[in-house]
Amino acid sequence: MDSKTADATDAHYSIDAVDTLTFRLIVLGNKIASSFNADFGRKHGIILSEWRCIIWLAARPGSSGQETSHGTAMDRMSVSRSLRSLEQKNMVKRRTDENDAKRWLWTLTPAGRAVYDAIMPHAEKRDRLITGAFNAAELKSFSRAISKAMKALD
C-alpha cells in the first residue's frame, strides 16, 4: 500500500471514529469533568476520582469498595486508591462488614460531607446547564437511552 492510500485509509477511520456515539460521549464526559480540578479539586484538596467516590458514598453510605467501583464505573484499583486517600484526609471512614471480615464498608465523615455540601450546588448548577439544553420529552428520552446503554455494558 502506498502512502497516499494509507493516508486516505487512516483519514477514513479517523472521521468515522470521531463521529461515533462512544467517542462523542467520552468527549462530553471530559467536557463535563474538565473544570473540576481547577474549580473545586484544588480548593478542597481532592481529585476527580475521589469526588466520584464522595458522590457515591453520599448516596449509598456503607458501600463496599466493590460496590463503589461498580456504581462509579471506575476500576477497583482507582477506587481503592481514592478511598485510602480520602481516609488519610479524614473524609471517609471504614468499618469491617459484620458478615465478611475481609470486606470494608465506607461512609463519609463530617469533613467528607462538608466537601460534598460545598461542591454539590455547583455540580447541580452544571447539571441544570446541561439538562436545560433539552425539552422535557427529550430529557426523558435521553435519560432512558443512557440507562439502556449503561445496562448494555453491565
pTM of the complete model: 0.82
Q: Which amino acid is at 149?
A: A
Strands of 92-97's sheet in order across? 63-64, 100-108, 92-97
DSSP for 5-24 reads: HHHHHHHHHHHHHHTSHHHH
At residue 13, the pLDDT reads 61
What is the predicted pLDDT for the residue at 154?
Answer: 82
CA dist 122 and 142 (Å) reads 22
Cell output for 94: 471504614
The helix or strand, by DSSP H or E, that contains position 63, with its residue range, turns out to be: strand 63-64
- Average pLDDT for runs of 10 along the chain of length 154: 54 72 90 83 93 98 97 96 98 96 96 97 92 95 92 88
CA distance 104 to 115: 22
Please tell me the predicted confidence (pLDDT) of residue 39: 83
Cβ 56 vs Cβ 50: under 8 Å: no
pLDDT at 152: 92
Whole-number pLDDT of residue 134: 95
